[in-house]
Amino acid sequence: MFDKFQNNDRMLMLFFIFLVLAGPILLAPFGAGYPDLLQRFCIFGIFAIGFNILFGLTGYLSFGHAAFLGVGSYSAVWMFKLLTMNVIPALILAVIIAGLFSLLIGFISLRRSGIYFSILTLAFAQMSFSLAYSVLTPITNGETGLQLTLDDPRILDAANTSGSLPSTNFFGLTMNSTAKFEFFGMVFQFNVGFYFCAVMLILAFYLAMRIFRSPFGLMLKAIKTNQNRLNYTGVNTRPYTLAAFVISGMYAGLAGGLMACTDPLAGAERMQWTASGEVVLMTILGGSGTLLGPVLGAGFIKYFENIFSKINENVLHGWFSFLPDGLEDLIVWVLHFFVGKGWHLTLGLLFMMVVIFLPGGLLQGASHIIDWIRGKKQSSSTQISNPNSMPAE
Partner 1 sequence: MSILEVQNVNKSFGGLKALQNVNLSVEEGTIHAIIGPNGAGKSTLLNCFIGKLIPDTGTVNFNGQSLLGMKAHEINQTGVSRVFQTPEIFSDLTVYENVMIPCFAKRDGSFCLNALNRVKSEAEIHDKAEHMMEDVNMADKKDMVASSLSRGDKRRLEMAMCLAQDPQLLLLDEPTAGMARADTNNTIDLLAEIQNKRHITMAVIEHDMHVVFSLAQKISVLAQGTVIVEDLPENIKGHPKVQEAYLGGAH
Closest separation in Å from C-beta 46 to partner 1: 17
12 contributes a contact to partner 1 by CB under 8 A: no
Task: Pick the closest to residue 113 from 249, 211, 227, 217 (CA basis).
Answer: 227
Question: CA dist 185 to 28, 128, 181, 225, Å?
Answer: 11, 47, 10, 53
7 contributes a contact to partner 1 by CB under 8 A: no
Among positions 34, 133, 221, 364, the unique one binding partner 1 when judged by CB under 8 A: 221
273 contributes a contact to partner 1 by CB under 8 A: no
The DSSP call for residue 292 is S
Q: Identify whether the C-beta of residue 98 lies closer than 8 Å to the C-beta of residue 253.
A: yes
Among positions 12, 230, 335, 350, the unique one binding partner 1 when judged by CB under 8 A: 230
Among positions 16, 51, 55, 240, the unique one binding partner 1 when judged by CB under 8 A: 240
Q: Identify whether the C-beta of residue 121 lies closer than 8 Å to the C-beta of residue 64.
A: yes
3-state secondary structure of 262: helix
Q: Which is nearer to partner 1, 5 or 333 (CB)?
A: 5
4 contributes a contact to partner 1 by CB under 8 A: no
Find the part of the chain contacting partner 1 (CB under 8 A) among 116-124, 216-224, 280-288, 331-339. Answer: 216-224
Closest separation in Å from C-beta 103 to partner 1: 14
Q: Identify whether the C-beta of residue 57 lies closer than 8 Å to the C-beta of residue 219.
A: no
For 32, half-sphere exposure in the C-beta direction (CA atoms, 13 angstrom radius) is 22
Q: Which is nearer to partner 1, 219 or 275 (CB)?
A: 219
Please give the Cα distance from 264 to 78 (Å, whole number): 10
Cβ-count burial of 251 within 10 angstroms (0-12 exposed, 13-18 middle, 19+ buried)? Answer: buried
Find the part of the chain contacting partner 1 (CB under 8 A) among 11-19, 109-117, 164-172, 219-227. Answer: 219-227
236 contributes a contact to partner 1 by CB under 8 A: yes
Please give the Cα distance from 94 to 252 (Å, whole number): 9
229 contributes a contact to partner 1 by CB under 8 A: yes
136 contributes a contact to partner 1 by CB under 8 A: no
Interface residue list for partner 1 (CB under 8 A): 2, 5-6, 210-211, 213-219, 221-222, 224-226, 228-237, 239-240, 243, 247
